[in-house]
Structure 1
């Protein structure tokens, strides 16, 4: 969806956290048997020079980013982001289980959030985005809407199990009638919504503003025309049929919105200049005197800083 507030595991996510920090090219035995041994050298050779270079560089990027911005990363924001992620995936236990399936721990996930925050700071520093510029964006975004929705999806290539357009519309209209007859929105969302990212939370989409580009136009036009506690009629988008409700609305403070505004500014800077990350990292690596005695790693770093290789 564009991006239908459908949660994805963040940047842990954006820079790999592969545990090779202790690997050398020595002959220390990891596993032994009568058939032969598996040594550190075997592991490194199996991984390959390219992957090893990428992993080593990614780990160094994390180190310098977190050192550079250790006093600017807002721990409260990190905790709030973690809590939201846990809620979106059905609670702490389910979230940790999902992380485990993907090879991550909760601590590594939090590290990923910190790295993401540091990346945002790095890009905005390089782009010259300061609080004054963020406050200009704040004025356009300060009025926030807390939205929820019920989605009845239609069949498509990406959703082969969806209903036909006619069936989906009919079901959405039936749900709307139940709401008008006094039905509870959150309960009906849990029972009927096909948006798996938030159905279990009563269709809760969180807070957004009219300037937010997270939703498709048809959805935005309907949602932001509503006032607090009001529910839309059935709204059709490319995803299916929605029923939207404004749970609350308010004017948020600058401090409340600053993390999201900073992240949006960084995203826009990257869209404007696709090489900005490489250029910002080059400046950072020079500041921290980053270099490698390994020719493969050194070549990889050079390629990355020239914009020929992804920093991710």
Structure 2
């Protein structure tokens, strides 16, 4: 208490003498000054720390209330890194929104501000319908710590970005030839149901060890018994190397491993297969394969996916081009 009292007296003395302490770093920046700090530049426009903090508040409150994190965690070094990462993502979204706004003005996509306001109202009305009532929507916003003012800003951004996106992707098409080509090159993945295989493996550190294990298996030793003895995978002690049923091209497994397994016949044992985890000896005990669907049965879904992929590429390339032209700058030291 005495230290605080002395500090107050000292500051009063400084001001009574008309001495400026700002140049000496003795006065911290006020919340108002921090809020005015620029965190990003997009062309001739800026995003301030205050605008970023306002947009980030709902996320911050959710992190504080989260059992996984909480307010105390956010004060730790790891928590502060998490906050910076999340705020940087939020800022990136705000930068993209600025780019959309600038592009909408350049293209004259809205006749006036009223058209944007009408879009905001339509979006809000749709959400009221989805939630059943205005009261329910407001309840959800309150739970998410989103003020009505912030919500209108979010909806405004969506209205503008949707209009711009629709404009830049409107001419995207995919030819029937491209659809046919995709089908011909990917028939194996277009079965009536996903093809599966039952796979076992033994994981080893060196190729030499893997070759020795394969020879033991070829000599008739039991796969599960050898796996429990030699595999460096901890689970092998319980599973005997049995991975159960996995899909062809299963994204949850190393793709070099999956491709090697797919190439095997039922009962066949692989040569050593190198992946990021080490050397594997693989055995496929069962394969379940289904008929390939006819072109006419899948052509619409293929076309839909190809159009979507091309639209996303146009969208992504456009954003990259706009960022470069706008000379986007981010002032990372001002984010938190």
On whether the aligned pair clears a TM of 0.5, the verdict is no
Task: Identify, as 1 or 2, the structure richer in helix.
Answer: 2
Measured against the shorter chain, the TM-score band is 0.3 to 0.5
| TM-score after normalising by structure 1 | 0.33
Rg (Cα) greater in structure: 2
| TM-score after normalising by structure 2 | 0.31
